[in-house]
Structure 1
Amino acid sequence: MGIIYGYVRVSTKEQCEERQLIALWKFPVPQGNIFIDKISGKDFNRPQYQKLLRVLRPGDTLVLKAIDRLGRNYEEILEQWRIITKEKRVNIVVLDMPLLDTRETGKDLTGIFVADLVLQILSYVAQTERENIRQRQKEGIAAAKKRGVRFGRPPKDRPETFNQIKETWKKGEISSRKAAKQLEIAQDTFLRWAHED
């Protein structure tokens, strides 16, 4: 029997991986065999995931808390699943989805088919939901802009001395850098304001 590994991913450094770790330890996955990435799942260029792929050998088992910890992109999840299970001949166990346990399903053709089919359905549903969320966000932003809602930081008020300093700059008596410093603003801001007027 091969070695048991675990993979944990959270999207940001602020998110906590503890829930995933507890589930993997209960499996049990040895603590030293768990690879953790604190990075977006938009692609598979993740340092710990790539390191994990290099150590996996035929007969090993990879344990995940949920399929979305592997990734977010439908096609890429399916491609990684194929690489791990078919090319590397490593079992995958997804704790939140018992049907995605290739140790059990991999023994016969029907089991393999069921696991692959379930994975495709789940990946499709997850990607469709992400696309729906993006579409709703886009529609919400467009509707808010129509109502006059402004996004981003509120515009900075121009100092009272702006016009006077701008005129001095226009005459070439001071540089834009010096003008910005006198107004205590960034040089880019000064130039933008000067060209807007």
Structure 2
Amino acid sequence: MTQHILYARVSTADQTISHQKAQAEAAGFTIDRVVEDHGVSGVNTAFAHRPGGARLLDILRPGDVLVVRWVDRLGRNYQDVTDTIRELMRRGVVVKTVINRMVFDGATADPIQQAVRDALIGFMAATAQAQAEATKEAQRAGIEHAKAKAEGKYLGRKPSFTRAQLDQVRDMLAQGAGHSAIAKETGLTRAVVWRIEGDPTKAEAALAAWEKAPAG
């Protein structure tokens, strides 16, 4: 019997497993079980070396469907993500993403379809790593801002959004949602949504600065 298993990975306290499951169900997926990884880096820890990842490799069977919010939940390292998806397909597992509704199926026999599928795997994995690197750079800038505050320098206005709201805006923008819908769902104003979309790196840096800044 085919299982639909959601793999949910969270690396920060503001991210939640329940949110990823709710997103999948809202997108029409019926989830039979959830396998989780908490506080595990998708950059530094390979999929097979995470508790949840290792468990999945043990329980997934040919014909099963692995659902993830996006490929960045599998990891944020190009080589690891591509190796993981190809290994899952080799085992007869179909990988589906909630965002952008991507489907990676090893049963594809047509060479043109295989080429398109493999190109998409590479592109998505590269995008996940690039986003991780951009976020890391923005966080580094935020730490520098926090240091500046500690030294009595002006840090700038505190962001009007939380980490969870920023992640949700990014997710909904990736799914093509409109600004009004995003504002209603997140509780933010349309102007804030526009600013995040216009310069996501700046939004990340500003939030990181205040997260790292000392209280007082």
TM superposition score category, shorter chain reference: 0.5 to 0.7
Residue 15 (structure 1) aligns with: 15
Query: Which of residues 97, 106, 111 is equivalent to 2:100?
Result: 97
Residue 112 (structure 1) aligns with: 114
Residue 38 (structure 2) aligns with: 38
Q: Helix, strand or coil for the counterpart of 1:37?
A: strand
Aligned residues of 1:102 and 1:112 also touching (Cα < 8 A): no
TM-score by length of 1: 0.61
Bigger radius of gyration: 1
Residue 81 (structure 2) aligns with: 77
Q: Helix, strand or coil for the counterpart of 1:97?
A: helix
Residue 55 (structure 1) aligns with: 59
Aligned residues: percent identity?
30
Aligned residues of 1:64 and 1:70 also touching (Cα < 8 A): yes
Distance in 2, Cα, partners of 1:74 & 1:104: 19
Q: Residues 3 and 149 of structure 1: is their aligned pair in 2 closer, same or farther, counting only changes over 3 Å?
A: closer
Which consecutive residues of structure 1, in runs of 5 or more, have no partner in the other structure? 151-197
Aligned residues of 1:104 and 1:111 also touching (Cα < 8 A): no
| AA of the residue aligned to 2:92 | R
Q: After superposition, what is the alpha-carbon deviation per residue over 1:67-106, rounded to whole angstroms, capped at 9, x for unaligned?
A: 11111111111111111112x12111112123x3135983
Shift of 1:107: 5.0
How well do the aligned residues superpose, as a CA RMSD in angstroms?
3.0
| AA of the residue aligned to 1:59 | G
Residue 5 (structure 1) aligns with: 5
TM-score by length of 2: 0.56
| AA of the residue aligned to 1:91 | V
Residue 200 (structure 2) aligns with: none
